[in-house]
Amino acid sequence: MSRFGIRKRLRAMLDRAEPEYTACNVTFVLPDGTKTVLDVEEHYSLLMAADANGITISTGRRAGGTCPDGRCGLCRVEVLDASGLSAMKDFESRSIDDHVAGTPHEGRPREAGPPRKDNHRLGCHAKIRGSGAVIKIPELFDPDSIKGGD
């Protein structure tokens, strides 16, 4: 065996069991005020969790497909209870600020977004770490609105 223990490390990697994911409860408050409690996998982002359950918060560039860099700011939600969510990182905070200021994204101009509140998060950045989060979605996106004609 080598002095770096490569065989030992490889054996440990191959013997690892598949990671177990826990189902977590997240409550989404839709724009019309209805509450939907979803069981979602831990480590999903809020955007993934909502989309997997038929709630479309945003499609990113709104041209079919997700935002490639997480900076568009269109999946902004209000966090009413942050229990079980990851902490906000600087990148997410700057992305929200850029959206509010109307800073160009992907080389294209964009309109300034709504003013920022302390409880705003981006659905693509906020990760689910446990149960209890309550999320208010200010606006749903209709994917049919970007489909072309027949």
Cross-sheet strand order for the sheet of 133-136: 35-41, 23-29, 133-136, 76-81, 120-122
Give the span between the Cα atoms of 117 and 140, in whole angstroms.
19
pLDDT at 15 over 90: no
> What residues make up the domain containing 45?
23-136
Number of domains in the chain: 1
**CATH code of the domain in which 114 resides:** 3.10.20.30
- Residue 141 placed within a domain: no
Residue 60, pLDDT score: 55
Report residue 89's pLDDT band, with 50, 70 and 90 as the boundaries.
Answer: very high
Closest CA to 142 of 53, 46, 57: 57
Higher pLDDT, 17 or 119: 119
Q: Is residue 143 part of a domain?
A: no
Q: What is the 3-state secondary structure (H, E, C) of the chain?
A: CCCCCHHHHHHHHHHCCCCCCCEEEEEEECCCCCEEEEEEECCCEHHHHHHHCCCCCCCCCCCCCCCCCCCCCCCEEEEEECCCECCCCHHHHHHHHHHHHCCCECCECCCCCCCCCCCEEECCCCEECCCCEEEECCCCCCHHHHCCCC
Residue 34 lies in a domain: yes
Neighbours of 114 (CB within 10 A): 12
The residue with greater pLDDT, 74 or 128, is 128
Confidence of residue 139 (pLDDT cuts 50, 70, 90): confident
> Is residue 2 very low, low, confident or very high in pLDDT (cuts 50, 70, 90)?
low
Asked if the structure places residue 113 within a domain, the reply is: yes
Structural domain includes residue 127: yes
Would 149 be classed as within a structural domain? no
pLDDT tens digits for range 35-67: 999 999 898 999 889 888 888 887 655 544 566
Has residue 147 been placed in a domain? no
Give the pLDDT confidence score for residue 130 in this predicted structure: 93
Express as a percent the part of the chain with pLDDT over 90.
Answer: 45
Contacts of 148 (CB under 8 A, 6+ apart): none
Within a domain: 91: yes
